[in-house]
Structure 1
Amino acid sequence: MTQEPEQKSPNTELEIDDGTDTIPRRRFLNLAGAGLLTIGFGSLAEGVVGGISEPLNQQVESLIFQPQQPIPEFPITAIEPDKLIVNSFRGTPTINPDAYRLIIDGEVNNPISLSMSDLQKLPFVSMVIRHVCVEGWAAIVQWGGVRLRDLLAIAKPLPETKYVYFYSADGYYESWDLDSVLHPQTLMAYQKNGQHLAPENGAPLRLASPVKLGYKLSKWVTRIQLTSELGEKRGYWEDLGYEWYAGL
Protein backbone atom coordinates (compact mmCIF):
# COMPACT_ATOMS: atom_id res chain seq x y z
CA MET A 1 0.00 0.00 0.00
CA THR A 2 1.38 3.39 -0.94
CA GLN A 3 1.73 5.81 1.93
CA GLU A 4 0.44 9.32 1.39
CA PRO A 5 3.14 12.00 1.04
CA GLU A 6 4.07 13.43 4.40
CA GLN A 7 2.78 16.90 5.09
CA LYS A 8 5.75 19.00 6.14
CA SER A 9 5.75 21.51 8.95
CA PRO A 10 7.09 25.02 8.41
CA ASN A 11 10.36 24.07 10.15
CA THR A 12 11.05 20.92 8.12
CA GLU A 13 13.82 22.55 6.10
CA LEU A 14 16.57 24.98 7.03
CA GLU A 15 17.19 27.61 4.40
CA ILE A 16 20.86 28.16 3.49
CA ASP A 17 21.38 31.66 2.18
CA ASP A 18 23.23 30.85 -1.05
CA GLY A 19 20.17 31.30 -3.22
CA THR A 20 19.90 27.66 -4.22
CA ASP A 21 19.99 25.00 -1.53
CA THR A 22 17.85 23.76 1.30
CA ILE A 23 19.06 21.19 3.80
CA PRO A 24 16.45 18.80 5.22
CA ARG A 25 16.14 19.27 8.96
CA ARG A 26 17.40 15.82 9.94
CA ARG A 27 20.30 16.09 7.47
CA PHE A 28 21.21 19.36 9.17
CA LEU A 29 21.23 17.60 12.54
CA ASN A 30 23.38 14.77 11.23
CA LEU A 31 25.90 17.26 9.89
CA ALA A 32 25.91 19.14 13.16
CA GLY A 33 26.47 15.95 15.11
CA ALA A 34 29.40 15.09 12.86
CA GLY A 35 30.94 18.53 13.33
CA LEU A 36 30.58 19.39 9.64
CA LEU A 37 28.78 22.68 10.08
CA THR A 38 31.77 24.61 11.33
CA ILE A 39 32.22 26.31 7.97
CA GLY A 40 29.60 29.02 7.69
CA PHE A 41 28.22 28.19 11.15
CA GLY A 42 31.44 28.49 13.14
CA SER A 43 30.19 30.24 16.24
CA LEU A 44 26.92 28.28 16.20
CA ALA A 45 28.63 24.90 15.96
CA GLU A 46 31.19 25.86 18.59
CA GLY A 47 28.49 26.92 21.02
CA VAL A 48 26.39 23.83 20.42
CA VAL A 49 29.13 21.23 20.46
CA GLY A 50 30.87 22.91 23.37
CA GLY A 51 27.88 22.65 25.69
CA ILE A 52 27.90 19.61 27.96
CA SER A 53 25.05 20.34 30.38
CA GLU A 54 22.26 19.51 27.93
CA PRO A 55 21.83 16.90 25.19
CA LEU A 56 23.48 17.93 21.91
CA ASN A 57 20.36 17.28 19.87
CA GLN A 58 18.29 19.54 22.10
CA GLN A 59 20.69 22.43 21.66
CA VAL A 60 20.72 22.11 17.87
CA GLU A 61 17.04 21.29 17.34
CA SER A 62 15.84 23.96 19.75
CA LEU A 63 17.47 26.53 17.47
CA ILE A 64 15.13 25.36 14.70
CA PHE A 65 11.99 24.49 16.68
CA GLN A 66 9.31 27.19 16.78
CA PRO A 67 7.43 26.59 20.06
CA GLN A 68 4.25 28.45 19.10
CA GLN A 69 4.16 27.61 15.37
CA PRO A 70 1.22 25.28 14.62
CA ILE A 71 1.96 22.20 12.52
CA PRO A 72 -0.34 21.90 9.47
CA GLU A 73 -3.11 19.38 10.11
CA PHE A 74 -4.98 16.97 7.84
CA PRO A 75 -8.69 16.83 6.94
CA ILE A 76 -10.91 14.27 8.66
CA THR A 77 -11.08 12.33 5.40
CA ALA A 78 -7.33 11.66 5.58
CA ILE A 79 -7.56 9.60 8.80
CA GLU A 80 -5.98 6.14 8.45
CA PRO A 81 -7.80 4.06 11.09
CA ASP A 82 -5.97 0.80 10.39
CA LYS A 83 -2.41 2.12 10.26
CA LEU A 84 -1.75 2.97 13.91
CA ILE A 85 0.24 -0.01 15.15
CA VAL A 86 -0.04 -0.90 18.83
CA ASN A 87 3.40 -0.96 20.48
CA SER A 88 4.16 -1.55 24.14
CA PHE A 89 7.05 -3.02 26.07
CA ARG A 90 5.15 -4.78 28.86
CA GLY A 91 1.68 -5.25 27.40
CA THR A 92 -1.44 -3.23 28.22
CA PRO A 93 -1.84 -2.40 31.92
CA THR A 94 -5.22 -2.69 33.63
CA ILE A 95 -6.44 0.72 34.79
CA ASN A 96 -9.75 1.49 36.48
CA PRO A 97 -10.86 4.76 34.83
CA ASP A 98 -13.09 5.62 37.82
CA ALA A 99 -10.13 5.42 40.21
CA TYR A 100 -7.64 7.00 37.80
CA ARG A 101 -5.81 10.17 38.79
CA LEU A 102 -3.30 12.25 36.85
CA ILE A 103 -0.74 13.74 39.21
CA ILE A 104 1.22 16.85 38.20
CA ASP A 105 3.97 17.75 40.64
CA GLY A 106 7.67 18.50 40.95
CA GLU A 107 8.85 22.09 40.59
CA VAL A 108 5.41 23.67 40.59
CA ASN A 109 3.57 26.08 42.86
CA ASN A 110 0.33 24.12 42.78
CA PRO A 111 0.66 20.30 42.66
CA ILE A 112 -2.58 18.77 41.41
CA SER A 113 -4.35 15.42 41.15
CA LEU A 114 -7.04 15.23 38.46
CA SER A 115 -9.68 12.59 37.75
CA MET A 116 -10.92 11.87 34.23
CA SER A 117 -14.03 13.87 35.10
CA ASP A 118 -11.82 16.83 36.03
CA LEU A 119 -9.88 16.54 32.77
CA GLN A 120 -13.02 16.35 30.65
CA LYS A 121 -14.28 19.62 32.14
CA LEU A 122 -11.29 21.48 30.69
CA PRO A 123 -11.37 22.96 27.15
CA PHE A 124 -11.48 20.14 24.59
CA VAL A 125 -9.11 20.22 21.61
CA SER A 126 -9.16 17.94 18.55
CA MET A 127 -6.48 17.62 15.89
CA VAL A 128 -5.74 15.39 12.89
CA ILE A 129 -1.99 14.82 12.67
CA ARG A 130 0.55 12.30 11.47
CA HIS A 131 1.90 9.93 14.11
CA VAL A 132 5.44 8.95 13.09
CA CYS A 133 7.21 5.89 14.49
CA VAL A 134 10.99 5.50 14.53
CA GLU A 135 10.44 1.99 13.10
CA GLY A 136 9.56 3.57 9.75
CA TRP A 137 5.75 3.55 9.69
CA ALA A 138 3.28 6.41 10.12
CA ALA A 139 -0.47 6.92 10.52
CA ILE A 140 -2.78 9.92 10.26
CA VAL A 141 -4.85 10.00 13.45
CA GLN A 142 -7.41 12.30 15.04
CA TRP A 143 -6.64 12.89 18.71
CA GLY A 144 -8.88 14.66 21.19
CA GLY A 145 -8.17 15.85 24.71
CA VAL A 146 -6.77 18.75 26.68
CA ARG A 147 -3.75 20.89 25.85
CA LEU A 148 -0.88 20.02 28.14
CA ARG A 149 -0.04 23.69 28.53
CA ASP A 150 -3.54 24.25 29.98
CA LEU A 151 -2.80 21.64 32.63
CA LEU A 152 0.57 23.18 33.43
CA ALA A 153 -1.08 26.58 33.75
CA ILE A 154 -3.09 25.13 36.64
CA ALA A 155 -0.01 23.58 38.25
CA LYS A 156 1.98 26.84 37.84
CA PRO A 157 5.57 25.75 37.01
CA LEU A 158 8.41 27.49 38.82
CA PRO A 159 10.47 29.89 36.66
CA GLU A 160 13.48 27.57 36.58
CA THR A 161 11.52 24.63 35.13
CA LYS A 162 13.08 23.36 31.87
CA TYR A 163 12.06 19.70 31.55
CA VAL A 164 9.02 17.50 32.05
CA TYR A 165 8.96 13.79 32.95
CA PHE A 166 6.07 11.48 32.11
CA TYR A 167 5.49 8.28 34.08
CA SER A 168 3.14 5.55 32.89
CA ALA A 169 1.16 2.76 34.56
CA ASP A 170 3.26 0.09 32.82
CA GLY A 171 6.58 1.48 34.11
CA TYR A 172 7.43 3.39 30.93
CA TYR A 173 9.01 6.80 31.45
CA GLU A 174 9.89 9.74 29.20
CA SER A 175 11.24 13.27 29.45
CA TRP A 176 10.64 16.28 27.22
CA ASP A 177 11.92 19.81 26.86
CA LEU A 178 9.46 22.36 28.22
CA ASP A 179 9.05 24.22 24.90
CA SER A 180 7.71 21.08 23.20
CA VAL A 181 5.40 20.39 26.14
CA LEU A 182 3.95 23.90 25.81
CA HIS A 183 3.39 23.60 22.04
CA PRO A 184 -0.31 24.29 21.30
CA GLN A 185 -0.69 20.87 19.64
CA THR A 186 0.75 18.81 22.48
CA LEU A 187 -2.24 17.11 24.08
CA MET A 188 -3.10 14.73 26.85
CA ALA A 189 -5.53 12.73 24.73
CA TYR A 190 -8.50 10.63 25.81
CA GLN A 191 -10.07 10.26 22.35
CA LYS A 192 -8.85 8.65 19.12
CA ASN A 193 -10.67 9.18 15.82
CA GLY A 194 -13.69 10.62 17.62
CA GLN A 195 -14.11 7.65 19.98
CA HIS A 196 -13.05 6.92 23.54
CA LEU A 197 -9.40 5.91 23.64
CA ALA A 198 -9.01 2.12 23.71
CA PRO A 199 -6.86 0.54 26.46
CA GLU A 200 -4.27 -0.70 23.95
CA ASN A 201 -3.93 2.84 22.56
CA GLY A 202 -3.16 4.33 25.97
CA ALA A 203 -6.47 4.80 27.81
CA PRO A 204 -7.39 6.54 29.88
CA LEU A 205 -4.80 9.21 28.98
CA ARG A 206 -1.82 9.45 26.64
CA LEU A 207 0.45 11.99 25.01
CA ALA A 208 -0.27 13.09 21.44
CA SER A 209 1.74 15.64 19.47
CA PRO A 210 3.02 16.29 15.94
CA VAL A 211 6.37 17.60 17.21
CA LYS A 212 7.87 14.32 18.53
CA LEU A 213 8.52 10.78 17.31
CA GLY A 214 6.19 8.05 18.53
CA TYR A 215 8.36 6.66 21.32
CA LYS A 216 8.15 10.05 23.06
CA LEU A 217 4.33 9.85 23.08
CA SER A 218 3.77 7.96 26.31
CA LYS A 219 0.61 5.94 26.86
CA TRP A 220 -1.21 5.28 30.16
CA VAL A 221 0.29 8.43 31.73
CA THR A 222 -0.32 8.68 35.47
CA ARG A 223 2.19 11.30 36.58
CA ILE A 224 3.76 14.43 35.08
CA GLN A 225 6.77 15.80 36.96
CA LEU A 226 8.38 19.17 36.23
CA THR A 227 12.06 19.77 36.92
CA SER A 228 14.90 22.19 36.25
CA GLU A 229 17.39 19.41 35.47
CA LEU A 230 17.41 16.13 33.59
CA GLY A 231 18.18 13.15 35.76
CA GLU A 232 20.41 10.22 34.88
CA LYS A 233 17.37 8.43 33.46
CA ARG A 234 15.89 10.33 30.51
CA GLY A 235 13.54 7.85 28.87
CA TYR A 236 13.12 4.10 28.50
CA TRP A 237 14.42 3.97 24.92
CA GLU A 238 16.77 6.93 25.30
CA ASP A 239 18.59 5.11 28.10
CA LEU A 240 19.14 2.30 25.58
CA GLY A 241 20.67 4.66 23.03
CA TYR A 242 17.77 6.36 21.22
CA GLU A 243 17.86 10.09 20.50
CA TRP A 244 16.57 12.18 23.41
CA TYR A 245 15.07 15.20 21.64
CA ALA A 246 13.41 13.17 18.84
CA GLY A 247 11.77 16.18 17.20
CA LEU A 248 9.96 16.23 13.86
Structure 2
Amino acid sequence: MKSIMTSVWLALLVLLPCHAAVRDVQSSEIAVQVSVDAQGHLQSVQPMVKLSAPFTALIQRSLSNLSFLPAREGSRTVATTTWLYVRLLGTPAADGKYDVSVRYICTGPYFTRRDPPGFPRQMISQRREARLLLKATVETDGRVDHVQLVRALTTEGRPARMFVYQAVHTLERWRARPIMVAGTPVISHVLIPISFMLHAYDSFGNPEASNLPALRPAIDATGLARLGHRPAPLPDGVVAAIDSPVKLVHKTR
Protein backbone atom coordinates (compact mmCIF):
# COMPACT_ATOMS: atom_id res chain seq x y z
CA MET A 1 0.00 0.00 0.00
CA LYS A 2 2.74 2.45 0.91
CA SER A 3 4.49 1.99 -2.45
CA ILE A 4 1.19 2.65 -4.24
CA MET A 5 0.54 5.80 -2.21
CA THR A 6 4.07 7.04 -2.79
CA SER A 7 3.71 6.51 -6.54
CA VAL A 8 0.38 8.37 -6.57
CA TRP A 9 1.91 11.28 -4.65
CA LEU A 10 4.84 11.46 -7.04
CA ALA A 11 2.56 11.49 -10.07
CA LEU A 12 0.51 14.32 -8.57
CA LEU A 13 3.68 16.22 -7.73
CA VAL A 14 4.79 16.25 -11.35
CA LEU A 15 1.41 17.05 -12.86
CA LEU A 16 -0.14 19.39 -10.29
CA PRO A 17 -0.34 23.03 -11.40
CA CYS A 18 1.36 25.52 -9.09
CA HIS A 19 -1.84 27.41 -8.27
CA ALA A 20 -3.25 24.26 -6.62
CA ALA A 21 -0.90 24.75 -3.66
CA VAL A 22 1.14 27.77 -2.69
CA ARG A 23 3.40 25.94 -0.25
CA ASP A 24 6.00 23.21 -0.37
CA VAL A 25 4.75 19.62 -0.20
CA GLN A 26 6.54 16.47 0.86
CA SER A 27 6.17 12.72 0.56
CA SER A 28 6.02 10.29 3.44
CA GLU A 29 9.38 8.86 4.45
CA ILE A 30 11.09 6.51 1.99
CA ALA A 31 13.46 3.82 3.26
CA VAL A 32 16.56 3.36 1.11
CA GLN A 33 18.82 0.34 1.58
CA VAL A 34 22.49 1.27 1.29
CA SER A 35 25.86 -0.38 1.59
CA VAL A 36 28.52 1.74 3.28
CA ASP A 37 32.03 0.49 2.58
CA ALA A 38 34.98 0.47 4.98
CA GLN A 39 35.94 3.97 3.77
CA GLY A 40 32.49 5.44 4.51
CA HIS A 41 31.34 5.67 0.88
CA LEU A 42 27.99 4.45 -0.43
CA GLN A 43 28.37 1.50 -2.77
CA SER A 44 24.72 0.73 -3.49
CA VAL A 45 21.51 2.74 -3.07
CA GLN A 46 18.14 1.01 -3.48
CA PRO A 47 14.78 2.51 -2.45
CA MET A 48 12.52 -0.01 -0.69
CA VAL A 49 9.43 1.23 -2.55
CA LYS A 50 8.80 1.12 -6.26
CA LEU A 51 9.55 4.49 -7.84
CA SER A 52 9.75 5.70 -11.41
CA ALA A 53 13.25 5.76 -12.91
CA PRO A 54 13.71 9.57 -12.64
CA PHE A 55 12.90 9.60 -8.91
CA THR A 56 15.09 6.59 -8.22
CA ALA A 57 17.94 8.31 -10.06
CA LEU A 58 17.32 11.54 -8.10
CA ILE A 59 17.58 9.69 -4.77
CA GLN A 60 20.69 7.80 -5.87
CA ARG A 61 22.35 10.98 -7.11
CA SER A 62 21.46 12.95 -3.98
CA LEU A 63 22.58 10.29 -1.51
CA SER A 64 25.86 9.77 -3.35
CA ASN A 65 26.87 13.16 -1.89
CA LEU A 66 26.68 11.82 1.68
CA SER A 67 29.82 10.78 3.51
CA PHE A 68 29.88 8.57 6.62
CA LEU A 69 32.22 7.49 9.36
CA PRO A 70 32.31 3.72 8.73
CA ALA A 71 31.56 1.02 11.30
CA ARG A 72 34.44 -0.45 13.25
CA GLU A 73 35.30 -3.90 14.51
CA GLY A 74 38.19 -3.49 16.91
CA SER A 75 40.85 -1.45 15.17
CA ARG A 76 39.58 -1.93 11.62
CA THR A 77 36.75 -0.34 9.67
CA VAL A 78 34.20 -2.62 8.04
CA ALA A 79 31.31 -2.48 5.59
CA THR A 80 27.73 -1.96 6.76
CA THR A 81 24.29 -2.55 5.28
CA THR A 82 21.74 -0.14 6.70
CA TRP A 83 18.78 2.01 5.71
CA LEU A 84 18.62 5.74 5.17
CA TYR A 85 15.29 7.50 5.52
CA VAL A 86 14.52 10.35 3.16
CA ARG A 87 11.63 12.46 1.98
CA LEU A 88 10.98 14.01 -1.40
CA LEU A 89 10.24 17.73 -1.18
CA GLY A 90 8.31 19.58 -3.86
CA THR A 91 8.80 23.35 -4.22
CA PRO A 92 6.51 25.31 -6.59
CA ALA A 93 8.41 26.34 -9.72
CA ALA A 94 7.81 29.15 -12.20
CA ASP A 95 6.60 26.71 -14.90
CA GLY A 96 3.59 25.69 -12.80
CA LYS A 97 5.04 22.35 -11.69
CA TYR A 98 7.36 21.44 -8.83
CA ASP A 99 11.11 21.25 -8.34
CA VAL A 100 11.80 18.03 -6.44
CA SER A 101 14.67 17.54 -4.01
CA VAL A 102 15.68 14.85 -1.52
CA ARG A 103 15.88 15.47 2.23
CA TYR A 104 17.94 13.07 4.33
CA ILE A 105 16.32 12.42 7.73
CA CYS A 106 18.10 9.64 9.59
CA THR A 107 19.57 6.13 9.57
CA GLY A 108 18.13 2.97 11.09
CA PRO A 109 16.91 -0.60 10.64
CA TYR A 110 14.13 -1.39 8.16
CA PHE A 111 10.75 -2.31 9.59
CA THR A 112 8.92 -5.06 7.73
CA ARG A 113 5.91 -5.00 10.05
CA ARG A 114 4.84 -1.63 11.38
CA ASP A 115 1.18 -1.58 12.33
CA PRO A 116 -0.04 1.80 13.63
CA PRO A 117 -1.39 1.81 17.18
CA GLY A 118 -5.13 2.13 17.59
CA PHE A 119 -6.56 5.28 19.14
CA PRO A 120 -7.93 4.53 22.63
CA ARG A 121 -11.71 4.88 22.36
CA GLN A 122 -12.08 6.60 25.69
CA MET A 123 -9.56 9.22 24.59
CA ILE A 124 -11.57 9.87 21.42
CA SER A 125 -14.75 10.47 23.40
CA GLN A 126 -12.84 12.81 25.73
CA ARG A 127 -11.23 14.64 22.78
CA ARG A 128 -7.73 14.01 24.09
CA GLU A 129 -4.60 13.82 21.95
CA ALA A 130 -1.01 12.80 22.60
CA ARG A 131 2.46 12.84 21.12
CA LEU A 132 4.83 10.20 22.48
CA LEU A 133 8.51 9.55 21.97
CA LEU A 134 9.60 6.01 22.77
CA LYS A 135 12.89 4.17 22.85
CA ALA A 136 13.11 0.51 21.82
CA THR A 137 15.63 -2.21 21.05
CA VAL A 138 15.74 -3.96 17.68
CA GLU A 139 17.23 -7.40 18.30
CA THR A 140 19.41 -9.29 15.82
CA ASP A 141 16.42 -11.48 14.86
CA GLY A 142 14.28 -8.42 14.10
CA ARG A 143 12.15 -8.46 17.26
CA VAL A 144 11.33 -5.15 18.93
CA ASP A 145 11.45 -5.14 22.74
CA HIS A 146 12.45 -3.11 25.80
CA VAL A 147 10.07 -0.33 24.78
CA GLN A 148 10.40 2.67 27.11
CA LEU A 149 8.77 6.07 27.23
CA VAL A 150 11.08 9.05 26.66
CA ARG A 151 8.54 11.86 26.46
CA ALA A 152 4.76 12.23 26.61
CA LEU A 153 2.76 15.32 25.66
CA THR A 154 -1.01 15.16 26.11
CA THR A 155 -4.00 17.47 25.91
CA GLU A 156 -3.64 19.88 28.83
CA GLY A 157 -1.07 17.52 30.36
CA ARG A 158 -3.64 14.90 31.31
CA PRO A 159 -2.56 11.27 32.03
CA ALA A 160 -0.89 9.47 29.14
CA ARG A 161 -1.17 5.89 30.40
CA MET A 162 -3.82 4.75 27.91
CA PHE A 163 -1.83 6.14 25.00
CA VAL A 164 1.41 4.64 26.31
CA TYR A 165 -0.19 1.21 26.85
CA GLN A 166 -1.53 1.19 23.29
CA ALA A 167 1.78 2.31 21.80
CA VAL A 168 3.99 -0.13 23.74
CA HIS A 169 1.87 -3.18 22.98
CA THR A 170 1.74 -2.25 19.30
CA LEU A 171 5.49 -1.66 19.00
CA GLU A 172 6.24 -5.03 20.57
CA ARG A 173 4.55 -6.64 17.55
CA TRP A 174 6.71 -4.75 15.05
CA ARG A 175 9.40 -6.63 13.14
CA ALA A 176 12.52 -5.32 11.42
CA ARG A 177 15.48 -6.23 9.28
CA PRO A 178 18.47 -5.42 11.49
CA ILE A 179 21.49 -3.38 10.49
CA MET A 180 24.33 -5.61 9.25
CA VAL A 181 27.96 -4.93 10.15
CA ALA A 182 30.55 -7.01 8.28
CA GLY A 183 27.73 -9.35 7.25
CA THR A 184 26.49 -9.93 10.82
CA PRO A 185 23.22 -8.53 12.24
CA VAL A 186 23.67 -6.16 15.19
CA ILE A 187 21.39 -4.88 17.92
CA SER A 188 20.29 -1.27 17.55
CA HIS A 189 18.35 1.14 19.73
CA VAL A 190 15.81 3.38 18.08
CA LEU A 191 13.65 6.40 18.80
CA ILE A 192 10.02 6.10 17.69
CA PRO A 193 7.64 9.08 17.63
CA ILE A 194 3.97 8.14 17.93
CA SER A 195 1.13 10.63 17.51
CA PHE A 196 -2.50 10.23 18.51
CA MET A 197 -4.10 13.22 16.83
CA LEU A 198 -7.75 13.88 16.08
CA HIS A 199 -7.35 16.61 13.48
CA ALA A 200 -7.84 16.01 9.76
CA TYR A 201 -5.19 16.06 7.03
CA ASP A 202 -5.19 17.89 3.73
CA SER A 203 -4.70 16.23 0.33
CA PHE A 204 -0.91 16.38 0.74
CA GLY A 205 -0.89 14.67 4.12
CA ASN A 206 -0.20 17.87 6.03
CA PRO A 207 -2.13 18.28 9.32
CA GLU A 208 -4.77 20.96 9.33
CA ALA A 209 -5.06 23.39 12.23
CA SER A 210 -6.63 21.98 15.39
CA ASN A 211 -8.79 23.98 17.81
CA LEU A 212 -8.16 21.53 20.67
CA PRO A 213 -6.24 22.61 23.80
CA ALA A 214 -2.45 22.63 23.62
CA LEU A 215 -0.33 19.57 24.37
CA ARG A 216 1.69 19.69 27.59
CA PRO A 217 3.93 17.24 29.49
CA ALA A 218 1.72 14.48 30.88
CA ILE A 219 1.33 14.54 34.66
CA ASP A 220 1.93 10.79 34.93
CA ALA A 221 5.04 10.68 32.68
CA THR A 222 7.52 9.63 35.36
CA GLY A 223 10.52 7.30 35.32
CA LEU A 224 11.30 8.26 31.73
CA ALA A 225 14.09 6.59 29.77
CA ARG A 226 17.23 8.72 29.71
CA LEU A 227 19.14 9.28 26.48
CA GLY A 228 22.14 11.32 27.65
CA HIS A 229 21.33 13.95 25.01
CA ARG A 230 18.39 15.97 23.76
CA PRO A 231 16.97 14.12 20.74
CA ALA A 232 16.42 16.07 17.55
CA PRO A 233 12.76 16.35 16.53
CA LEU A 234 11.63 13.48 14.32
CA PRO A 235 8.82 13.68 11.77
CA ASP A 236 5.83 11.45 12.48
CA GLY A 237 6.40 7.93 11.22
CA VAL A 238 10.20 8.14 11.12
CA VAL A 239 12.21 5.73 13.26
CA ALA A 240 15.83 6.71 13.92
CA ALA A 241 18.68 4.62 15.32
CA ILE A 242 20.36 6.17 18.36
CA ASP A 243 23.50 4.07 18.00
CA SER A 244 23.89 3.63 14.25
CA PRO A 245 27.25 1.97 13.47
CA VAL A 246 27.77 4.49 10.66
CA LYS A 247 27.67 8.24 11.32
CA LEU A 248 26.88 10.95 8.80
CA VAL A 249 29.80 13.37 8.78
CA HIS A 250 29.01 15.76 5.94
CA LYS A 251 27.28 16.28 2.64
CA THR A 252 29.53 17.07 -0.27
CA ARG A 253 28.43 19.17 -3.20
User: Which has more radius of gyration?
Assistant: 2
Higher helix share: 1
Give yes or no for TM over 0.5. no
TM-score, structure 1 as length reference: 0.23
Higher strand share: 2
